[in-house]
Amino acid sequence: MRRLQNKMLLVMIMGILISSLVSGMIFTYATRNTINYDSQQILDLKAIHASSELSKKILMCENNNELMAGFITKTITTISNVTDYHYSAADIDNWNGLAWSMVEDTQDISAIGFHFNPSFIHRKNAGFLISYNNTTGRMENLSSDYEDSLKPRTEDGFLSPYAQAVLAKKTIWTVPYYNKINGIYSITNAKPIYIKHQLVGVVFCELDFDRIANNTNSISLYEHGKAILTDRYGQQLNYGGAMVNVPNSFMKKVAKQGNYEALVKLNDTQTYLHARRVTDNMYMIVTVPQTDVLAARNRTIFTVLFSIISLSAVLCLIAVTMVNKLFRMACKDSLTDASNKISYQEYLKELEKRIAYTHRSYGVAVFDINHLKAVNDEQGHMAGDQLIRDGYEVIHLCFPEDEVFRIGGDEFVVVFDDPDLKKTRNSVERFKRIMDKRARDFASSSQVVVSCGYSEWQRDEHYRDVFKRADHDMYKEKAKFYAYNPQVDRRR
C-alpha cells in the first residue's frame, strides 16, 4: 500500500511538473514573440501620439499663416496699391490687429508678422511684427525692431526665415533658431506672397520651440526611453539628457518614407528608433534602448514563470495532501482510527522481507475485547461500537509508539519489531496484569476489559505460527475473564 501510495504521488507530481514545464516553455516562447511585437506597437503608438500633438501645433501655425496671407492678398489687389505708402500703412494697421488677436488667443505661437519686399516698396523697414517679448514678458508690436530679420544671414550665419522663403519660392519651416528681436528660441513658418508673379513680401508665424522641446522632453517610456526632435541630418534639436546624433543612413530612409523604424546602434547602444516627419526640417523620433525592452520582457516572463512554479508547488502540496488523505482513509479503520486489515497485510509483507534479510526476532500481541456480544445483545450495536472504540483507546494508550491493527470485529494486533524484546515482554505483562485486575473487579458492562496473548518469533518460523501461539495465549486470558464473570458469557 505504501509503495502504491509513493508511486501515485510520484506520477502525480511528475505530471504536474511536466505540465508546468511545458506550459512555461510555451508561455516563454509566446511571451517573447508577443512582447517583442507589442513593444514595437507601443513605440509606434508613442511616436504617433507625440508627433500628432506637435503636428497639431504645426497645423495651427500654418493655418494662421494661410489666413494672414489670404487677408493680405485680398487687400492688395494690384501692384500699384502696394507702392502707395499711405494705403499700405492703413492696411498694415488692419493686419496688425488680426495678428495681435491670433498671438493673444493661440498658445505656443510666439509671433506673427509680415515683411514687405524692401526692393519693391523702396523701404527697408515696412511691415509689422506682433510678438511676445521674452525680455519684458509682454505682447508687443516690435515692427521698428525687425530690420535685421530682412538680412540674408544673421551674425551667427543662420539664413533668415525671410531669405529662406524667398529663395525657396514656397512656404518653408525653419529649423530652431534664436530670434534676437523677441529673445525667443523659435521655429518659423514663412510663406512668400506673390501677386502677378511679383514678390510682395513674406508672412510668417513663429512657434516657441522651448515649449515644444519641454513637451518632448517630458515624454518617457520604459526605463531610459525618450523622444527627441532632430533636423533632416539627424542632429538633435531639443536639449534634455544625453545628446543624440541619429545615423545619416536612418535619416535618409525617414526623409524618403516619412515614417520609419529600425534597430540601430546609437551612442554605442543598440536602440529602437521610431521616427515620424513633423516638417521638412524636423522629425520626431522615439528612442528606447534594446536592453530596456529585453528587461521588461524578462521581468514579465520571470513573474509569470514564478507564478507557474508557485502554482505547481501548491498543486504538488494539494496532491500530496489528497493522496495521503485518501490512503489514510484506505489504510485506517473508520470506526476506531486503527490501521485496518489492508495495512496489516502490507505490513506483514514488509516484515517478512525484513526478517529474511536481518533474521531479527519480533513479538506479536493479539488483543480481543471481552463481553462485546453481551453489550450488543443488551444495549445495541451502537453501544458495541463504542466498546470497540474504547478498547482500541486502551490498547493505544498502553502501546503509544506501536502501530495497532484492527483485523476483525473486536480483534486487534500489535507487531513489536523492536530489538529490545525484553522491554516489550514487560509491557505486555504489565498490560495483562491491569486487565486481569479489571476482570476480577468487573461490575458493569460499560467497563473495558481486553484479553491479550503474546508470542515471539523463533528462527525459521513463519509469521502465522507466531500469530497462532499469540492467539492461543489470548484465548486463555479470555477464558479466565469469563470464568470470573460468567454472567456476560455469550460464547455458547
How far is the C-alpha of 73 from the C-alpha of 221, rounded, in Å?
Answer: 46
The H-assigned helical ranges of 332-462 are 341-358, 372-379, 381-398, 421-440
Between the alpha carbon of residue 185 and those of residues 71, 135, 206, 477, 491, the distances in Å are 27, 13, 9, 114, 117
pLDDT attached to residue 4: 64
DSSP letter at 76 equals -
Between the alpha carbon of residue 456 and those of residues 117, 352, 364, 462, the distances in Å are 128, 14, 6, 11
Question: Which position has the grid cell 505656443?
Answer: 108
pLDDT attached to residue 150: 47
Q: Which residues pair with 116 in a beta bridge?
A: 201
177, 185 Cβ separation under 8 angstroms: yes
- The CB-based long-range contact list for 292-295 (8 Å cut-off, 24+ gap) reads 292/222, 292/223, 292/224, 292/225, 293/35, 293/36, 293/39, 293/222, 295/222, 295/223
Amino acid at 278: V
Beta strands 225-230; 411-416: pairing state: unpaired
pLDDT attached to residue 163: 87
> What averages of pLDDT result for each successive group of 10 residues across the chain (492 residues)?
66 77 76 69 77 86 91 74 59 83 84 82 72 80 57 57 89 86 86 86 90 85 85 81 80 87 85 87 86 83 81 81 76 89 89 85 94 89 92 94 93 90 92 92 83 91 93 94 87 64
Between the alpha carbon of residue 451 and those of residues 326, 337, 443, the distances in Å are 32, 20, 17
- For residue 473, the number of C-alpha atoms closer than 13 Å in the C-beta half-sphere is 18
CB within 8 Å of 163: residues ≥ 6 apart: 151, 152, 153
How far is the C-alpha of 203 from the C-alpha of 149, rounded, in Å?
Answer: 12
The count of residues in the chain is 492
326, 379 Cβ separation under 8 angstroms: no
How far is the C-alpha of 227 from the C-alpha of 246, rounded, in Å?
Answer: 12
Closest C-alpha to 246, from 223, 269, 224: 269
pLDDT attached to residue 242: 67
Beta strands 225-230; 220-221: pairing state: antiparallel
CB within 8 Å of 93: residues ≥ 6 apart: none
The reported pTM is: 0.59
CB atoms within 10 A of CB 327: 19
pLDDT attached to residue 153: 46
Show the cell assigned to 174.
Answer: 525653419
3-state secondary structure of 406: strand
CB within 8 Å of 90: residues ≥ 6 apart: none
Closest C-alpha to 1, from 333, 337, 345: 345
pLDDT attached to residue 152: 46
DSSP letter at 150 equals G
131, 138 Cβ separation under 8 angstroms: no
How far is the C-alpha of 389 from the C-alpha of 412, rounded, in Å?
Answer: 11
3-state secondary structure of 282: strand
How far is the C-alpha of 313 from the C-alpha of 307, rounded, in Å?
Answer: 10
Helix (H) or strand (E) holding 247: none
Beta strands 184-195; 172-173: pairing state: antiparallel
Show the cell assigned to 126.
Answer: 515696412
Within 11-154, strands assigned E span 109-116, 127-133, 138-141
Determine the angle formed by the axes of helices 372-379 and 381-398, rounding to 10 degrees.
Answer: 150
